[in-house]
Amino acid sequence: MRESATCDLRPVTCLHLGAAYYPEHWPEERWPEDIRLMREAGLTVARLAEFAWSTLEPAEGDFHLDWLDRAISALASASIATVLGTPTAAPPAWLVEQHPDLLAVDESGRHVQFGNRCHYCVNSPQFHAATRRIVGAMVERFGSNPHVIGWQLDNEYNRVCYCDRCRSLFQRYLAEKFGSLDALNAHWTTRYWSQTYSAWEQIPIPIGLHNPGLMLEFKRFVTESYRQFQRLQLDVLRPHLRPLLLVGGAGGGVWVTHNFMGWFDGFDHYALTEDLDLASWDWYVGTGHHDYLSSGAAHDLTRGFKRRNFWLMETQPGSVNWSAINNMLNKGEARAMAWQAVAHGADAVLYWQWRSALGGQEQYHGTLVDPSGQPRPFYEEAQQLGRDFAAVSSLLANSAVVSEVALLNSYDSRWAIQWQRHHRDFDYVAHFNHYYRPLAARNIAADVISADTPLDNYKLVIAPALLMLNESRAARLRDFVARGGHLVLTIRCGMKDDYNALLPSRQPGPLVDLAGVEIVEYYALLDPVPVAGEWFTGTSRLWAERLRVLDETGTQVIARYGESNGWLNGHPAVTVHPHGQGRVVFVGAYLDEVSQQSLLDRITSAAGVQPVMETPVGVEARRRVTAAGEEVFIAINHERAEQLMRLPWPAREHLSGQSVGEELRLAPYGVAVLTRLA
């Protein structure tokens, strides 16, 4: 049996396996059996209490915290640490009865129903007061408990409220931001359709499509509302928590996180994570199976929030209950997924949830233990993972993913594109992944980071559909290229300003000189259009931009459009332009997958970017580098068939404890954790 004592106080530097556990659903006599089974599965952390408000405070100010204290202690005696959730995603019935208007209002103006989750108005002062009270009581009791290693605020923020209070707060936010109605009217071109505002009170919350400037500011207001709500909780918590001494949590303090939802776009995640210590996310597949080439991007997105390791706070123990077909993942698939998360920088994997509650809305969700209290078949897979993590936890301690490539993500660009797709099938994330996948297929590590972060230490930066290109973004990119960086700009780049107004210039706006081309027209396509050049012969689908070369001597035309709608025939589709020490590739096409792979292969090799390792199709290889500089390689077979791969060197495989020569045999969904021998 694994002893995890060294892990307990150093959560971010160890590898944790865990589950969401709701002891309040069960008689206390049952807890020892649950904890025994957890220990036998190798669990080292449990997440408690994130929906337990009605049990913790059954009436105003009447706190019942002893049971939670006993649960934390019982878990700790089995070397299982606790992450505590603040229960604010589930305001209880008595609170709603006291303050009915803390219920959020939906788009049609109706209060949302009590009894599901996140039914609160994020700006309700009564809800804020109740939040301070319950979070305060919890942290006074558990803030210095050595077994509570971290806190999770609320659960999956997602609700948007349309109540009158939110509307007037939105108007106040606009007044502060714009200073005058004249400025707002000008930025939003409100003369259009006579939208001119002569009083702040006239401005609505957008329902459905509306003025693009108004829609963008409302998203920012929603972000700000959650940020304030989050700060309110942080202000209550932080004075009671052991401080984090070192960046990354290695100093042994208590961290605070929120469990985000990957590519969910309800608010700007960079703004929200700025105030947190640790980023975490909940990964569910739903129907079908995961596509590893794209799922890596979601992990990297979460790692990019704080630009360091993250937690996988929830993932499915085989199946969910909310999808069209709640199929079980194949045997071994979830283990490979857990390893993929770790390979991309996760320091913990937690299943949701431990045991099926007998009642409530999620009776059929996957769990480790079934309603009878006995382990499900899936439990064995978790147990295998428990053995895996125990074997390599110290090897991977204090290790991080290192990348030479960054992909820039921008919520404002994404929102603006999604509201005006121009082609029904144009999807920001799909287009983003169109650039991520060819890298993943070659085992090239990439960071997914905000378009507003420094770009030091990268060789290659890709800015997929960076629609909003303000001066500070442009300046950073210019500087990156001048210093020798390779930059890829794509379709839908450089069209908008910070207010979601069109720039009075041709694309890519302020980067025209850098790109050596301008876009003279964009076309939404009914049918694919031929694109050919030295590097590939293929097609562009959905979208095509007609480029005009500005720097005739410097710009190299890589590919041109073939015969199509007449407007594109023979015009440049992909160009390369040297600038300073670096170069800029402009991709005006949305290439087919084979051509896109060839394009990215050329781009990465010109930029001198190295793959982690070569693998057969379906096998992923990633690398984490420890603080001491040791390289740990993780190879994951995402296929249902055995795969044979060549290693560039003899290695030690740490899950089996065996040495391997230059040939590595990976079982279906098999995993290897390797360090180089000699």
Rounded to a whole number of angstroms, the CA Rg of the chain reads: 26
Nearest to 282 by CA among 170, 154, 114, 391: 154
Verify binding: residue 362, ligand GLA, rule CB under 6 A.
yes
Query: Binding residue for ligand GLA (CB under 6 A) from 31, 67, 284, 649?
Result: 284
From 40-48, 117-125, 304-312, 535-543, span contacting Zn ion (CB under 5 A): 117-125
Active site residue 314: yes
Query: Of 161 and 348, which CB lies nearer to Zn ion in the complex structure?
Result: 161
**Residue 574 within binding range of Zn ion, rule CB under 5 A:** no
Report the residue from 217, 224, 282, 653 that binds ligand GLA according to the rule CB under 6 A: 282
CA dist 272 and 469 (Å) reads 22
**Closest distance to ligand GLA from the beta carbon of 270 (Å):** 21
Residue nearest ligand GLA by beta-carbon distance: 282
Nearest to 280 by CA among 2, 50, 25: 50
Q: Which residues of 511-548 are buried (b: 16+ CB within 10 A; e: fewer)?
A: bbebbbbbbeebbebeebbbbebeebebbbbbbbbbbe
- CB of residue 123 to Zn ion, shortest distance in Å: 5
Torsion angle of C-alpha atoms 312, 314, 315, 317, degrees rounded to 10: 130
Task: Establish whether the linkage from the previous residue to 353 is cis, with ω within 30° of 0.
Answer: yes
Distance in angstroms (rounded) separating the CA atoms of residues 105 and 377? 43
The binder of 362, among Zn ion, ligand GLA, none, by C-beta within 5 to 8 A per type, is ligand GLA
Q: Which of 57, 154, 156, 388 binds ligand GLA (CB under 6 A)?
A: 156
578 — alpha (psi -120 to 50), left (phi > 0) or beta? beta
The residue among 166 and 512 lying less far from Zn ion, judged by its C-beta, is 166
Residue of 574, 96, 131, 46 lying closest to 350 (CA atoms) = 46
Angle subtended by helix axes 292-306 and 428-441, to nearest 10: 100
Q: Is 398 among the residues that bind ligand GLA (CB under 6 A)? A: no
Q: Which does 427 bind (CB under 5 to 8 A by kind): ligand GLA, Zn ion, none?
A: none
Judged by CB under 6 A, does residue 155 bind ligand GLA? yes
Residue 617 CB, nearest approach to Zn ion (Å): 50
Task: Verify binding: residue 102, Zn ion, rule CB under 5 A.
Answer: no
Is 161 among the residues that bind Zn ion (CB under 5 A)? Answer: yes
- 90 or 481: whose CB is closer to ligand GLA? 90
- Confirm if 229 and 130 have CB atoms less than 8 A apart: no
Q: Any idea how long the chain is?
A: 678
Q: Shortest distance, CB of residue 310 to ligand GLA, whole angstroms?
A: 16
Strand, coil or helix: what is 413?
Answer: helix
With binding defined as CB under 6 A, does residue 367 bind ligand GLA? no
- Residue 447 binds ligand GLA, judged by CB under 6 A: no
Among the residue ranges 187-195, 314-322, 462-470, 628-636, the one whose residues contact ligand GLA (CB under 6 A)? 314-322
638 binds ligand GLA (CB under 6 A): no
Q: Is 156 a catalytic residue?
A: yes
323 contacts ligand GLA (rule: CB under 6 A): no
Shortest Å distance, C-beta 291 to ligand GLA: 19
Give dist(CA 277, CA 287) in Å, integer: 32
Distance (Å, whole) CA 589 – CA 540:
5
- Between CA 180 and CA 672 the distance in angstroms is 61
Residues 95, 61: contact at Cβ < 8 Å?
no
Select from ligand GLA, Zn ion, none the partner in contact with residue 542, using the beta carbon and a kind-dependent cut-off of 5 to 8 Å.
none
Stretch that binds Zn ion, among 35-43, 121-129, 189-197, 362-370 (CB under 5 A): 121-129
Contact between 163 and Zn ion per CB under 5 A: yes
Q: Do the beta carbons of residue 337 and residue 620 sit within 8 Å?
A: no
Does 130 bind Zn ion (CB under 5 A)? Our answer is no
Instruction: Spot the catalytic one: 24, 50, 217, 314.
Output: 314
Q: Could you tell me the CA-to-CA distances from 27 to 19, 48, 71, 635 in Å, in that order? A: 19, 16, 11, 43
**Which residues are catalytic, by number?**
156, 314
Q: Which residues bind ligand GLA (CB under 6 A)?
A: 155-156, 282, 284, 314, 320, 322, 352, 362, 365
Q: Which residues bind Zn ion (CB under 5 A)?
A: 121, 161, 163, 166
